[in-house]
Structure 1
C-alpha cells in the first residue's frame, strides 16, 4: 500500500504533517492528485475551534490532475486537469426541489476524502472523489489556458455569486461590502462585473487601497465616525441598495443598518461565532422595510457560471493571491491568515 503526505487535524490548533495511506478508489470513483488547494476561512475555523472530532483532513478549494479512475467511470481519464467540488446535492429531496441545494443533507455531508472521516481532503497529496460527485458535475475540467491556481477559485467564486444572486443585486445599484479580505475583494469584482457600484469598508489601509484597485467605487475606513453620512453622500442621500457582510462583526452589521436605504437588503455572508446575539428593534426592519437574509455555501445551479467567470477571466482572481506555502507549512499559513499583514489576501497551498 502506498502512502502520501497529508496535514492531519489531531485536535484544536494541532496539525500533524504525516504519512497516511493513499485512498483506495471504488469502481465509480476517481483519485485526484492535488496541485493547489486554497485556504478558506471555514478551514481555519475547523482547525482552531472544537467543531469536529479529530482525526480529519480538511481542505476543499482543490484543483489537480486525475491520478486513477475506477473502471465504471465514464468521460474522465488519467491526467485530466480538474477542479474538485467537495459536495454535490442529491437533486431529489425537498430542499433540492426548492433550489435550496446547500440545505440538502447529501450536500452538507462532505464525502471527498483523503482518509479518516471524509472532510474535504484537499490538504493532502491525493483526494478521493466519490461516485455521486463524479457523476453529477462535481469534477470540472480546467481549460489548458487556465492555471491550477486560478481554477482553485471556482468554489469560492460560486459562494460569492450565490449571495449576489440571492440579494438580487442589479446593474446600476450600489452595494456596501464590509471587509476587503479575499471574499470582500471577490464580491467587488463580481458586482463590478454585473454593473453595480461597490462601497467597501476595512480597517487596514492597504486593503482599502486594494479594494479600489480591483474595482470599488469608494473604500472607507470602518472606524470612520462619519461613515454613514459619507455613504449617504455617495448614494444621493439614500443609502446603499444592499449590504453584504463579509466580516462577522456586530459593529459591521449596525453600520450596514445605518448605511442601507429604506427598502434595502442586508445579507449575512460571514459566519458569526455561535454565542453572538445581535439586539435589534424589530420596528427598524418593519418601518424601513429592510430585508435581512443569509447566504451559506455554493449553489449547484450557478456552477457553470462560476466556472466561466473564472476560466474566461471575467474576474481577475490572480489579483487575490498574496501568499503561497508548501502544504508542509499549513500551520504558518493559518497563522498568517489569522494575523494578516498589510498585503495578506488569499493563501494557496502546494502539496
Structure 2
C-alpha cells in the first residue's frame, strides 16, 4: 500500500509499505478521507517526535478486514476511527478526567512504524482496545466520508464548549477563526449563544461572519474592548475561547471578558512561552482560567449526532482536498 511516511522535520516520503497485519481482535480500515489537523502539521514541521511515523488521526473509511474474534463489525462497514479511547479504570478515568488517562494518550492506531494515527496511508489498523470500547462509529448512509472525518475535531471543540458551560443567551469571544475557531462559532451558535470572533486575516474574518458569528474583528484593532463592550451592554463577554496560541490574544481576552467570566485555553502554546499575570486581576474580577485538551469520551455520541445530523455545517470547513 502507499503511505506518506514522516522521515524527519519537513520530510514526508510517499512510499510503498506493507499492509498492516491484524490480530484476532483487530480491524483493518481502508482510509477514504483523513483530515489534516494542525497538530499533524506541527509534528511534521518541528522536531517533536522521532521518525519514522505515519500521522493522520481524523480518519473515516471502510472496514477491509476483521479479526476472528471481532463481533458486531463486518467488511464493508463505513466507519469513523477514533484514535483515543481511555482505559476506564485508572484514577483519572474514575474521576472523569478521561483525557489524562495514559491509555487514552497513547496512540495505537497505526499504518506501520511507531503508532501515530496512521491515517496518511491507504489502510490503518485499529487495535482491539479501541474496537471493543467504542473507538469505531458507524457512518450513516446519508453522511459522506468527508463529513464523518469531522467527528473527532467536533468532539474536541464540544468538550471545550461544555467545560466552559456556554449557555443560551451568553456571548462568547473566539480568538482565531481558523478551522477550530470556525467550528467554535458554529457550536456556540448551536447551543444558543452569540459568537464574536477575531483574526488577523480578512478572509477568515469574512468566513467567521459567514458561518454565524454576530461580529468579527481584526485582532489588531486597538478599539476591540470598546467595540465588544458596545455589543454586550458594557459587560464584556461571558466566555473567551483561545483558539490561537498567542499571549496577546490572552491579554485581549482578559480585557474583553466580564467580571465573573471564563477564559479557556484551547490552543497549545509553545513550551517556552510564559504569561505573566497579576493574580489580583483574577481575584478581584473573579475570572476563571481553564484548559481543555483533546476530546471527551462521554461526548462521542453527541459529537456524532451533531455531525451526522448536520446540526453544524462541517462542509463549510473544507478548504482544500489533496490526494494521498
The bucket for the TM-score relative to the shorter chain is over 0.9
How big is the shift at 1:206?
1.5
Return the match for 2:58 from 50, 56, 61.
Answer: 61
SS in 2 for 1:229: helix
Task: Give the whole-Å Cα distance in 2 for the aligned partners of 1:274 and 1:243.
Answer: 22
SS in 2 for 1:242: strand
Return the match for 2:294 from 291, 297, 306.
Answer: 297
Return the match for 2:23 from 8, 23, 26.
Answer: 26
Q: Deviations over 1:87-138 (max 9, x none)?
A: 1000011111111111000000000000011110000000000001000000
Q: Deviations over 1:157-191 (max 9, x none)?
A: 00000000000111110000001110000000001
Task: Give the whole-Å Cα distance in 2 for the aligned partners of 1:44 and 1:97.
Answer: 33
How big is the shift at 1:230?
0.4
Return the match for 1:210 from 203, 207, 212.
Answer: 207
Task: Give the whole-Å Cα distance in 2 for the aligned partners of 1:135 and 1:195.
Answer: 35
SS in 1 for 2:13: strand
Give the number of aligned pairs.
Answer: 324
Ranges in structure 2 where 5+ consecutive residues have no aligned partner:
none
Return the match for 2:131 from 123, 127, 134.
Answer: 134
Task: Give the whole-Å Cα distance in 2 for the aligned partners of 1:48 and 1:96.
Answer: 33
Q: CA RMSD in A?
A: 0.5
Identify the residue that residue 318 of structure 1 maps to in structure 2: 315
Please tell me whether residue 85 in structure 1 is matched to residue 82 in structure 2. yes
How big is the shift at 1:19?
0.8
State the 4+ residue runs in structure 1 displaced beyond 6 angstroms: none
Output the TM-score relative to the length of structure 2.
Answer: 0.99
Task: Give the whole-Å Cα distance in 2 for the aligned partners of 1:113 and 1:124.
Answer: 9
SS in 1 for 2:103: helix
SS in 2 for 1:323: coil
Please tell me whether residue 254 in structure 1 is matched to residue 224 in structure 2. no
Please tell me whether residue 182 in structure 1 is matched to residue 179 in structure 2. yes
Q: Deviations over 1:58-105 (max 9, x none)?
A: 100000000000010000000100000011000011111111111000
Please tell me whether residue 199 in structure 1 is matched to residue 196 in structure 2. yes
Please tell me whether residue 170 in structure 1 is matched to residue 167 in structure 2. yes
How big is the shift at 1:279?
1.0
SS in 1 for 2:303: helix
Task: Give the whole-Å Cα distance in 1 for the aligned partners of 2:73 and 2:221.
Answer: 53
Task: Give the whole-Å Cα distance in 1 for the aligned partners of 2:7 and 2:199.
Answer: 34
Task: Give the whole-Å Cα distance in 2 for the aligned partners of 1:13 and 1:274.
Answer: 20
Identify the residue that residue 276 of structure 1 maps to in structure 2: 273
Identify the residue that residue 123 of structure 1 maps to in structure 2: 120
Task: Give the whole-Å Cα distance in 1 for the aligned partners of 2:17 and 2:105.
Answer: 25
Return the match for 2:147 from 147, 150, 169.
Answer: 150
Task: Give the whole-Å Cα distance in 2 for the aligned partners of 1:6 and 1:206.
Answer: 33
Identify the residue that residue 5 of structure 1 maps to in structure 2: 2
Task: Give the whole-Å Cα distance in 2 for the aligned partners of 1:317 and 1:163.
Answer: 18
Please tell me whether residue 108 in structure 1 is matched to residue 105 in structure 2. yes
Output the TM-score relative to the length of structure 1.
Answer: 0.92
How big is the shift at 1:207?
1.0
Task: Give the whole-Å Cα distance in 1 for the aligned partners of 2:280 and 2:8.
Answer: 44
Task: Give the whole-Å Cα distance in 2 for the aligned partners of 1:203 and 1:53.
Answer: 33
How big is the shift at 1:22?
0.5
Task: Give the whole-Å Cα distance in 2 for the aligned partners of 1:190 and 1:51.
Answer: 31
Task: Give the whole-Å Cα distance in 2 for the aligned partners of 1:299 and 1:98.
Answer: 13
Identify the residue that residue 225 of structure 1 maps to in structure 2: 222
